[in-house]
């Protein structure tokens, strides 16, 4: 039986991870430390509330006292908390440095002082961009070349994690994964933004020429990969985690969503491109396959369909998120 500190568990991937973990490891205890930024929403965890092993703590990973107190109580940290949206980092990178860099360092320091293991959830964006002209994929040996302030902050956090391992012998692992999709994803990200806009009768903004390629990973595959890393991963090791898609660009993704919703291509609106937009990401997950037995199990088309259906069935969830109503509710509950 383990006691796990999850940071950022009220966000998209963290909440899916908590649900995944509680169903597969029912004897374990989980503490979810989350600041409830605009991206954190306890509605994502309604089914975990009240379960004997689960506890929520409202707090900031840059608050040294909270972090040290909780790390001391746990056996293991799974660190999701971050500012995660590239477009926001282009507008203002300040919070990205505070949370993603300073917050990660405080967790590492506490893990070192109390001799705890830490798994750091990172991104394939630390490796920069691939071109459309090659078949190359990122792997664990790819050089870091982050291009957005978000990616740079995650790259800095990855370097800190490895520095604590090399200098202090801290027991760490890192996963660098591709674009996740699935239920409870905040509708600022491309897939849920597209689905919810279309459900509201609004057009979908497509940046630039729309020929940008992402390696879509269903969130449950990511959760299972982290589980495998915690069980079998080597300390000091990074694992690249990718999905099942073979080079699908944003226009192709939109066309699939339009088809699922029975709508036409007039709902696509080409808009100004994202500054510094990375052309392509693709992940080679062969190390994770060899060492952990990982392979993605969720087919992109099938789970895109299920994701569309989830947003259709859960309109009150995303309407609250889009209107900001969930924040007012938790401000009253927690005095934020
Ligand atoms: P998200 O934005 O949905 O959730 C982030 C969570 O962290 C929120 O609940 C937020 O309240 C919390 N948080 C933010 N700042 C905090 C702070 N200072 N203290 C405590 N909590 C704080 O993010 P996500 O998409 O679930 O991503 C989770 C992690 O996975 C991030 O580290 C991200 O970099 C990484 N990642 C995401 C993707 C993706 O496609 N979404 C892909 C690769 C890696
Ligand atoms: O690769 C992993 C990363 O994936 C994670 O580390 C990030 O946290 C996560 O946000 C995601 O980054 P992207 O920038 O790839 O995701 P986003 O959903 O913002 O955009 C996906 C693609 O869609 C990208 O090419 C930009 C494009 N896009 C996005 C939005 C929001 C549009 O064309 N229109 C849009 O309105």
User: Average of pLDDT values for 17-35?
Assistant: 96
Residue 78 has a CB neighbour count (10 Å cut-off) of: 27
| Among 283, 275, 336, CA closest to 86 | 275
Task: Using most ligand atoms within 8 A of CB, pick from 214, 240, 248 the residue to mutate for ligand 2.
Answer: 214
pLDDT at residue 245, as a whole number: 72
In a 3-state reduction of DSSP, which class is residue 304? helix
Residues 134-156: pLDDT tens digits? 999 999 999 999 999 999 999 99
Taking the CA of 275 as reference, the closest ligand is: 2
212 lines ligand 2 (CB under 6 A): yes
Catalytic residue among 34, 83, 125, 220: 125
* Average pLDDT along the chain: 96
125 is a catalytic site residue: yes
39 lines ligand 1 (CB under 6 A): yes
pLDDT at residue 228, as a whole number: 98
Catalytic residue among 20, 54, 150, 326: 150
Residues 70-97: pLDDT tens digits? 999 999 999 999 999 999 999 999 999 9
| Among 210, 182, 286, 209, CA closest to 242 | 286
Residues 316-328: pLDDT tens digits? 999 999 888 777 7
pLDDT at residue 141, as a whole number: 98
The predicted model scores a pTM of 0.97
Residue 329 has pLDDT above 80, yes or no: no
Fold (CATH) for 3-334? Rossmann fold (3.40.50)
What distance in Å separates the CA atoms of residue 81 and residue 67, rounded to the nearest whole number?
A: 12
Taking the CA of 98 as reference, the closest ligand is: 1
Q: Which residues neighbour 177 within 8 Å (Cβ) at sequence distance 6 or greater? A: 121, 122, 123, 124, 217, 222, 225, 240, 241, 242, 283
Residue 336 has pLDDT above 50, yes or no: no
Q: Across the strands, what pairs with 172?
A: 118
Domain range list for the chain: 3-334
């Amino acid at each position: 039986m383990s006691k796990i500190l999850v940071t950022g568990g009220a966000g998209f991937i963290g909440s899916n991870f908590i649900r995944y973990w509680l169903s597969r490891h029912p004897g374990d205890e989980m503490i979810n430390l989350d600041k409830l930024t605009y991206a954190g929403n306890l509605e994502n965890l309604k089914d975990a509330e009240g379960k004997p092993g689960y506890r929520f703590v409202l707090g900031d990973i840059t608050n040294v006292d909270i972090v040290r107190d909780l790390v001391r109580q746990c056996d293991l940290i799974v660190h999701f908390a971050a500012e995660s949206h590239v477009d926001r980092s282009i507008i203002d990178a300040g919070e990205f440095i505070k949370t993603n860099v300073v917050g990660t360092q405080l967790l590492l320091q506490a893990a070192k002082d109390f001799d705890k293991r830490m798994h750091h959830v990172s991104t394939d964006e630390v490796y920069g961009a691939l071109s459309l002209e090659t078949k190359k994929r990122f792997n664990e040996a790819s050089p870091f070349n982050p291009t957005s302030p978000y990616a740079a902050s995650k790259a800095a956090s990855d370097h800190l994690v490895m520095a604590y391992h090399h200098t202090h012998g801290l027991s760490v692992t890192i996963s660098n994964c591709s674009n996740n999709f699935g239920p409870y994803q905040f509708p600022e990200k491309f897939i849920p933004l597209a689905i919810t806009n279309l459900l509201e009768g609004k057009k979908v903004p497509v940046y630039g020429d729309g020929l940008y390629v992402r390696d879509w990973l269903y969130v449950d595959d990511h959760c299972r990969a982290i589980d495998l890393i915690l069980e079998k991963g080597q300390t000091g090791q990074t694992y690249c985690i990718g999905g099942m898609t073979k080079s699908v660009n944003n226009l192709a993704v939109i066309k699939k969503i339009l088809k699922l919703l029975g709508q036409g291509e007039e709902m696509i609106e080409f808009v100004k491109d994202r500054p510094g937009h990375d052309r392509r990401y693709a992940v080679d997950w062969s190390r994770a396959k060899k060492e952990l037995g990982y392979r993605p199990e969720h087919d992109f088309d099938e789970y895109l369909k299920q994701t569309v259906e989830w947003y259709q069935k859960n309109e009150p969830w995303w309407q609250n998120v889009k209107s900001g109503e969930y924040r007012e509710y938790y401000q009253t509950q927690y005095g934020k």
